[in-house]
Amino acid sequence: MSPACKKCGSGESVKNGIVKGKQRYRCRKCGCNFRAGDGRTNERVAAKKAMCILLYSMAKGSYQVAFSNTLNAKRQNEHDVASK
């Protein structure tokens, strides 16, 4: 599998020669060249992906569901204590 593009994160990269002993790739989507093993921008892409997943799950309301489940569990505990 080709490494993800450092610029747009696309996996559609093709081998484009060797530079300073390292494999160079060219992104088929945005056309930028990048080398394998340059981790800095990879982290930025990973952070961007994590943020997208977070925003997506928030938009789906899973945070609210988790919060209301916690509230229901708390109410149930209070009810149990009161009935004793």
Residues interacting with Zn ion, by CB under 5 A? 5, 7-8, 10, 27, 29-30
Cβ-based burial of 13 (10 A; exposed 0-12, middle 13-18, buried ≥19) = buried
Nearest CB to Zn ion, comparing residues 31 and 61: 31
Nearest to 45 by CA among 20, 53, 24, 16: 53
Rg of the Cα trace of the chain? 23
Nearest CB to Zn ion, comparing residues 8 and 58: 8
- Quote the least distance from Cβ 39 to Zn ion, whole Å: 17
Nearest CB to Zn ion, comparing residues 26 and 79: 26
